[in-house]
Amino acid sequence: MSSEKISKKAGSSCYSFFKKRSFTTESLLLCLTIILFIFFSVTSPSFMTFDNIGNLLKQTSINGIVAIGMLFVIISAGIDISVGATVGLSGIVVALLLRSGMQIPSSIIVSILMCTLVGIVNGVLIYDGKVPSFIATLGMMTIVRGVIMLVSNAEMVANLPDNFTEIAQVTFLGIPFMAVIWFIIIILGYLISKYTVFGRNVYAVGSNTECARLSGINVRKTTYGIYVLCALLSAIAGILMTARLGNGVPTGGAGYETDAIAAAVVGGASLSGGEGTIIGTVLGAIIIQTIRQGGNLLGVNSFILDIIVGIFLIIAVLLDKMKKK
């Protein structure tokens, strides 16, 4: 048998092997997560300690909640650059209200309502104003950051009630309560994306907006719902962030939009819209935070870790483009 025939046969066999097993994005990400955990466990004795895993879950919970909101936006072929600022707004508002003497439930509700207003404005600008989502949310990010600095006088808001900060300290069956909230949001996000009319409409709008409109889908309501949901989840993340820090921080949430986009895209979401899963985004968030946490334990410069996350994002986008071809 000639070498050319052998090469073709080997290539055909390899193709059949991978086709039969059809590895999904989620399975590959799960393998990468396991590899990262093994690597950091071997290289850093403190990585697999109870305290470190607890801290990893807490921080991943905050970023992961924001990433789930971002996923719905990306599936709709949009982008929301204002999520980090919305996280900061939620955190600073709840801190100011608590310090003024308002009860915890009322403070949380007011904070969430203010942030959902940001989502409504984003939806109006993008759908009714026809402003590109990147520009609309970039402008909103700048406005919200200005509001935060104005209402806080660019100062940290301290002396928050112990009952509030305990949200970040309590555990449920050994799992941080913050992670429990994240798990609940993961389940709800999965159910919404898979089994609700709204979830199906999000995919339809992201795949082809005009076809979705001609099919009878209310694109306006869907667009509003997407950005309100994203802002709502960012608000929850901001409240948890403030509880964990024990203070309202004016710069809170800075850079969260990058990690949220990276988690969704690394998790298999397409920036062209119409693709993305909750499980993939969750694994993407875990991978990114594991890299940051493990890198910090090894003494890796934080700027280098930012470079690594950026490389992951670029590779994910390139792979998506190659797949489209």
pLDDT per residue as tens digits for the range 267-302: 989 998 999 999 999 999 999 999 999 999 999 898
pLDDT at 287: 94
When divided into structural domains, the chain yields a total of 1
CB 24 within 8 A of CB 277: no
Q: What is the pLDDT of residue 319?
A: 77
List, as one string, the DSSP characters of 82-135.
Answer: THHHHHHHHHHHHHHHHHTT--HHHHHHHHHHHHHHHHHHHHIIIIIS---HHH
The answer as to whether 262 is a domain residue is no
In a domain, 87, yes or no: yes
Check pLDDT > 50 for residue 239: yes
Nearest residue to 277 via CA among 26, 23, 22: 26
Residue (of 212, 238, 228) closest to 72 by Cα position: 228
pLDDT of residue 50: 87
Residue 123 lies in a domain: yes
Using CA atoms, how far apart are residues 273 and 277, in angstroms rounded to an integer? Answer: 12
**Cα torsion angle, 228, 229, 233, 239, sign:** positive
Does 222 reside within a domain?
Answer: yes
Residue 325's pLDDT band (cuts 50, 70, 90): low
The answer as to whether 264 is a domain residue is no
The answer on pLDDT for 316 being more than 60 is: yes
Q: What's the confidence (pLDDT) of residue 121?
A: 97
Average pLDDT over residues 205-225: 94
Q: Please tell me the predicted confidence (pLDDT) of residue 8.
A: 43
Please check the confidence at residue 11 and state whether its pLDDT lies above 60.
no
Helices (H), the chain: 3-21, 25-43, 50-75, 83-99, 104-123, 133-152, 162-165, 177-195, 197-207, 209-214, 219-245, 256-266, 278-297, 302-324
Whether residue 14 is predicted with pLDDT greater than 70 in this model: the reply is: no
pLDDT at position 315 over 90: no
Does the residue 70 lie in any domain? yes
Q: What is the pLDDT of residue 5?
A: 45
Query: pLDDT, tens digit, for every residue of 76-130?
Result: 999 999 999 999 999 999 999 999 999 999 999 999 999 999 999 999 999 999 9
**Residue 311 falls inside a structural domain:** no
pLDDT at 22 over 50: no
Rounded to whole angstroms, what are the CA distances from 22 to 236, 275, 283, 316?
37, 17, 19, 18
Higher pLDDT, 43 or 17: 43
Residue 19 has pLDDT above 60, yes or no: no
Label residue 321 by pLDDT band (50, 70, 90): confident
pLDDT in tens, 163-179: 999 998 898 888 899 99
CA distances from 19 to 16, 186, 322 (A): 5, 30, 18
- Residues 43 and 39: their CA atoms lie apart, in Å, by 6
Q: Specify the pLDDT at position 23.
A: 54
98 closest CA partner among 217, 257, 246: 246
Domain coverage including residue 206: 60-254
Which pLDDT tens digit goes with each residue over 96-108?
999 999 999 999 9
**Closest to 234 in 3D by CA, of 216, 219, 254, 207:** 254
Contact 267, 281 (CB under 8 A): yes
Tell whether 26 is covered by a domain.
Answer: no
Distance CA 99, CA 113 (A): 18
Confidence grade of residue 41 (pLDDT, cut at 50, 70, 90): very high
The pair of three-digit structure tokens given for residue 187, joined into one six-digit string: 């389940």
Best mean pLDDT range from 163-167, 239-243, 270-274, 317-321: 239-243
